[in-house]
Structure 1
């Protein structure tokens, strides 16, 4: 595994910001780390980068144990923080060359050229960082995190504050990088996870509440539902009589959502027959699949508090 976390926990006083976290992420996988504010995402990333020592548990990057007293494992880790601090007075190439020297890269110039090309910055290499747009500044941060070809890349809200075009550009860079590197991506944008991530881990109140491929997590929180449209206007009460026990909700499209009704072909065929017998011909019928945003809300709804336990 490129990234492994075993019983990782962090306590501040009597409160556990992260409690008994276990994750394994193989090479070449983009994992979306999700959770509401205060869930423990940033604390987890800080432990993985060595910034915070864990209270309990361990983590490994490319088979090497994360240890604040050692620097060997850091050669396999790249990190882009949410704030992405950059020196405005340096030129792009100059800053990347400086970063490469910090990593003691033997072929620093080649590594800088590769990072510039990978992040689409080659034509901006001679620009001062101070004059760059926020989108290009994020690319510089990514280039610095990638210059030493790490096996694991940790990204904290990499598209926060960017416009739609800049978001699309950064996502494409991450997608390209993710084909060869394990990426741990923290974000609040569910569409970003659905567009980029192979796997998802959801944290709530410091604990892991869901983990798996994006499809598995969607399936685990899905509720059977069907959307139907009628050829003529129909009152809600008549629809409720057709499917007792289901929640019937009007949709902006003029269709009706039947929550709790089976979405299988057989169940839809049965509903078509029932509607025909009641002289309520359908104009449309299809299963509705849960979105990640809905699953996330179902798993993290409520005022979660950090875990507390006796020392």
Structure 2
């Protein structure tokens, strides 16, 4: 599957411009991480990709065909977990997935439901009412419904919210395996999830694409801009300096920070993906 987004703009009736001149290329197989602050336009972009919204300007095409002309075909090969996903509390997990399979028009749904339940480790809870589930278990039900059938394109919006660390690791591995022959778009605020499994990144802020490329390429942009230093009074006067950690020592408060210009005497450190993301958002935000 090849998805092309060309000069896409989205302005809501309120006048808010959510997306500005978005140009992207996504193709199978890929596991793409979508990063950005709250309100950056990530959810709007995902809604456009599943045809829940129509763009103000620009186009989306799937394998060369405009999305408006192949919406039905796309939805038949789509698995989608929105950030806020409603569940029917009085249904059991099995009943809910059976209902969702019927909505998706899945034939012989029993096998599809079994695969989704097994993949999300819900076998022991299959007959449990959804109202009895923990937050993490409810999130797994949401992931399970996205997996129903054989979707070629999967979109997950904050899929590991509410999952404990062990579950998050399990699902990161699962997403990585799934993307071996599919297109997976993973939107999250948990940088560690992206760094662990994604082979491509899209960073968006204030409706604009700030970066597309590999995690390694983004990290390289922050080289020379991450350091360790003892905190000084003048640090607060540096508007580009973001301190990411502080540790009390006998010499004073030892800080790790990200900045366009590091304080004098700072010891350069190898950037993490989180450092690089913060540096990009800060630098591009200040340039607007």
> Is the pair's TM-score, using the shorter chain for normalization, greater than 0.5?
yes
What is the CA deviation profile of residues 154-183 of structure 1, one whole-angstrom value per residue up to 9, with x for unaligned ones? 111112233333333333332332233211
Partner of 1:78: 79
Secondary structure of the residue that 2:91 maps to in structure 1?
A: coil
Partner of 2:98: 97
After TM superposition, the structure 1 = structure 2 runs for residues 289-308 of structure 1, keeping only pairs within 5 Å, are: 289-301=270-282
State whether residues 224 and 268 of structure 2, in contact with CA within 8 Å, keep that contact through their aligned partners in structure 1. Answer: no
Secondary structure of the residue that 1:117 maps to in structure 2?
A: helix
What is the CA deviation profile of residues 199-244 of structure 1, one whole-angstrom value per residue up to 9, with x for unaligned ones? 111112111111101111211333277889xxxxxx99xxxxxxxx
Structure 1: state its 5+ residue gaps.
229-234, 237-249, 261-285
Partner of 1:197: 198
What is the CA deviation profile of residues 261-288 of structure 1, one whole-angstrom value per residue up to 9, with x for unaligned ones? xxxxxxxxxxxxxxxxxxxxxxxxx973
Partner of 2:6: 6
Distance (whole Å) between structure 2 residues aligned to residue 131 and residue 182 of structure 1: 33
Distance (whole Å) between structure 2 residues aligned to residue 259 and residue 51 of structure 1: 38
Change (3 A) 1:61 1:143: farther
What is the CA deviation profile of residues 31-76 of structure 1, one whole-angstrom value per residue up to 9, with x for unaligned ones? 1111112211111111111111101112234555322994222112
After TM superposition, the structure 1 = structure 2 runs for residues 279-294 of structure 1, keeping only pairs within 5 Å, are: 288-294=269-275
Partner of 1:33: 34
Runs of 4+ more than 6 Å apart: 224-228, 253-260
The structure with the largest alpha-carbon Rg is 1
| 291-300 or 65-74, larger mean C-alpha shift | 65-74
Change (3 A) 1:130 1:172: farther
Q: TM-score, normalised by structure 1?
A: 0.73
State whether residues 258 and 279 of structure 2, in contact with CA within 8 Å, keep that contact through their aligned partners in structure 1. Answer: no
Residues 1:142 and 2:143 aligned together: yes
Q: TM-score, normalised by structure 2?
A: 0.79
**Residue-pair matches, total:** 262
Give the alignment's Cα RMSD to 1 decimal.
Answer: 3.3
Partner of 2:43: 42
| 52-61 or 294-303, larger mean C-alpha shift | 294-303
